[in-house]
Structure 1
Amino acid sequence: MRQFTAIVNPTAGGSAGAAALLRVARLLREAGAELETEYSRSLAHAQDLARGAGQRGRVVLAVGGDGIAGGVGGALSGTGTLLGLVPAGRGNDFARALELPAEPAELARILLHGAPRRVDTVEVESAVHPRTVVLGSVYAGVDALANRHANRSRMLRGAASYYAGGLRAVATWRPACYRVTVDGEEHIHRGYTVVAANSPYYGSGRMIAPGARVDDGLLDVVMIRHAPRRLFFALMNELKSGAHVDRPEVRILRGGQVRIEADRPVPYGADGEVEAVLPVTARVLPGALAVLC
């Protein structure tokens, strides 16, 4: 029987993390599993807790949204520790990519009996953050600005906060000139954003990279060129289905390492947490993490 250490982000969705864990914890304990709970004071603290639990041979449960999932998963990348997710945040995009169920009984069954799946992680390097490992995506441009607005929203939750943040960001965005280097090949791009995606989803269910797979050893690099704002708003709506990839303003490349630079201080983010400015390098770490799904 597996032994679990749950690491809860108490700020993800207010009390949603603790509530989500309670529903699953009862089922795990009724099945005979041992479960201990740790509450993190910060992302760095959550990572320290995860490493410590992993060294004791426990399965680590990241309870919250994409920030704690990416932070804890990144800390466990390459360690051999098994990760489970209890989605309870605003976006839950990596859990969505793994097709994890929302229903507690089904999620508990996976945590108790599911076979580990090896997935890729993404190593991120910049001047401000010498080395960070995340799970989902690195995005540089208007979406990073939108995510910043969403994180600071006190009135809206979930997809609504990301949509409102996107509207606010697009209204003030001016196109940047990017230099994007994919596996040594340089591409010049002027527009709204560049996304290096390990997962198809970001921004609370928006399918930025429909072809991305979490276990293929590659990043899908999505570049959205400059276009009239009205067209970009239409494109934002198409992110729900992934139809935006058919537009001529969207270009997709694939590779194992991506360097993103710009002609001005363009913000970038990673899994909803890292806030810095370009340049940044993202490289895939194939099969570096075992996840229950």
Structure 2
Amino acid sequence: MSRSFTFLVNPASGGGAAPAAVVPVARALREAGATVDVTYSPGPRAMAALVDAAVARGDVVVSVGGDGMLSSLAGLVSAAGGTLGVVPAGRGNDFARMLGLPTAPDQVAGLLLAGAVPAVDLVALSLPGTDERLVAGSVYSGVDARASEIVDRSRRLPRRVQYPYAALRALATYAPARYAVTVDGVEQTYDAATVVVANSAYYGSGMQIAPAAAVTDGRLDVVVVGAASRLALMRSLPKIYDGSHVALPEVTVLTGRRVELRADARVPVPVGGDGEPLGVLPPLAAEPAVVEVRPGALSMISG
């Protein structure tokens, strides 16, 4: 049975690279006899209607952009009971990296046409007083969330240096926070620079923050990077790219299905997910933010 596709394109992804990325892939699919509809993202509310209509037609919904675009579609496609494909065209493409997805147009088209459709886990974040938000890769707080905000202001830099630059800028001004981290009912407190709750091993354009993470194991990897001097954190930054940072004494790795987070610091502790700002962590005396795994929540074309 042949597949039909609805492409949803974020025109801003990859510094404007997404529109160019979609053309050769769509052409190859049409030449193979597939039906392809291409829509440039009109905003979150309209995207939900487009996803529902595409899934009702039996189309594979294809995210054309980066991790933020993929993440915004993942929950919608999951809720509609559809299948998600990806044309990696963002700055980071970390979830695509986790799945081993190709970037060459002919290989992307071939995978969309004939790739397997396993069920992958998603991550659900609930902040007090807000609706649940599903993300694909990870939820992070502290210095990592500040680095993500800096990336969004660094678009004039070459793509390959945006994330390292943002990480160093964030570390240069960071202040540690006191975190309460509860994993499957067991609470521990840490003075930390950041806490990452990961479904995927990768974030930050190739940083292997949670090297043991798997998107099909029904579990979350919680990486706590303890407070240290700014210089020490900067020196350890290269280790995150190969995952060797988890052997450092100031790094703690926990695993579980439900994580509760609270934090106190001089300023509110930001929280983000897959490149998007999501709010701030509640203080220690308040109701926690809750991060839970949603096992097998999304059917996704991969190798």
Amino acid at match of 2:257: G
SS at match of 2:80: coil
Write the deviation string for residues 224-263 of structure 1: whole angstroms up to 9, x where unpaired: 0011212111221111111101101110000001111001
Aligned pair 1:76/2:77, yes or no? yes
The equivalent of 2:109 in structure 1 is 108
SS at match of 2:39: strand
Distance 1:138 1:159, change over 3 A: farther
Aligned pair 1:138/2:139, yes or no? yes
Quote the offset at 1:41 in angstroms: 2.5
- Are the equivalent residues in 2 in contact too, given 1:46–1:68 (CA < 8 A)? no
- Are the equivalent residues in 1 in contact too, given 2:121–2:297 (CA < 8 A)? yes
- Are the equivalent residues in 2 in contact too, given 1:144–1:267 (CA < 8 A)? yes
Amino acid at match of 1:20: A
SS at match of 1:239: helix
Quote the offset at 1:49 in angstroms: 2.0
Q: Distance in 2 between matches of 1:48 and 1:205?
A: 32
Structure 2, unaligned stretches of length 5 or more? Answer: 283-288
Quote the offset at 1:164 in angstroms: 1.1
The equivalent of 2:286 in structure 1 is none
- Are the equivalent residues in 1 in contact too, given 2:5–2:59 (CA < 8 A)? yes
Amino acid at match of 2:274: D
Amino acid at match of 2:238: N
Write the deviation string for residues 17-76 of structure 1: whole angstroms up to 9, x where unpaired: 111111111110110000001111324433432233112221000000000001101211
What does 1:137-286 align with in structure 2 at a 5 Å threshold? 137-264=138-265, 265-279=268-282, 280-286=289-295
Q: Please, which moves more after superposition, 64-73 or 270-279?
A: 270-279
SS at match of 1:120: strand
TM-score (norm 2): 0.94
Distance 1:164 1:48, change over 3 A: farther
* Number of residue pairs matched by the alignment: 293
- Are the equivalent residues in 1 in contact too, given 2:67–2:93 (CA < 8 A)? yes
Q: Distance in 2 between matches of 1:15 and 1:154?
A: 10
Distance 1:155 1:14, change over 3 A: closer
Quote the offset at 1:13 in angstroms: 1.8
Percentage of pairs with the same residue? 48
Quote the offset at 1:128 in angstroms: 5.6
Amino acid at match of 1:28: L
- Are the equivalent residues in 1 in contact too, given 2:7–2:61 (CA < 8 A)? yes
Q: Distance in 1 between matches of 2:128 and 2:137?
A: 21
The equivalent of 1:292 in structure 2 is 301
Amino acid at match of 2:191: R
The equivalent of 2:66 in structure 1 is 65
- Are the equivalent residues in 1 in contact too, given 2:138–2:273 (CA < 8 A)? yes
Distance 1:170 1:260, change over 3 A: same
- Are the equivalent residues in 2 in contact too, given 1:158–1:204 (CA < 8 A)? no
Quote the offset at 1:163 in angstroms: 1.2
Q: Distance in 2 between matches of 1:195 and 1:15?
A: 29
SS at match of 2:156: coil
Amino acid at match of 2:280: V
SS at match of 2:223: strand
The alignment yields a C-alpha RMSD, in angstroms, of 1.3
Q: Distance in 2 between matches of 1:44 and 1:241?
A: 38
Q: Distance in 2 between matches of 1:275 and 1:16?
A: 25
Q: Distance in 1 between matches of 2:276 and 2:62?
A: 19
Aligned pair 1:121/2:96, yes or no? no
- Are the equivalent residues in 1 in contact too, given 2:66–2:93 (CA < 8 A)? yes
SS at match of 1:260: strand
- Are the equivalent residues in 2 in contact too, given 1:77–1:121 (CA < 8 A)? no
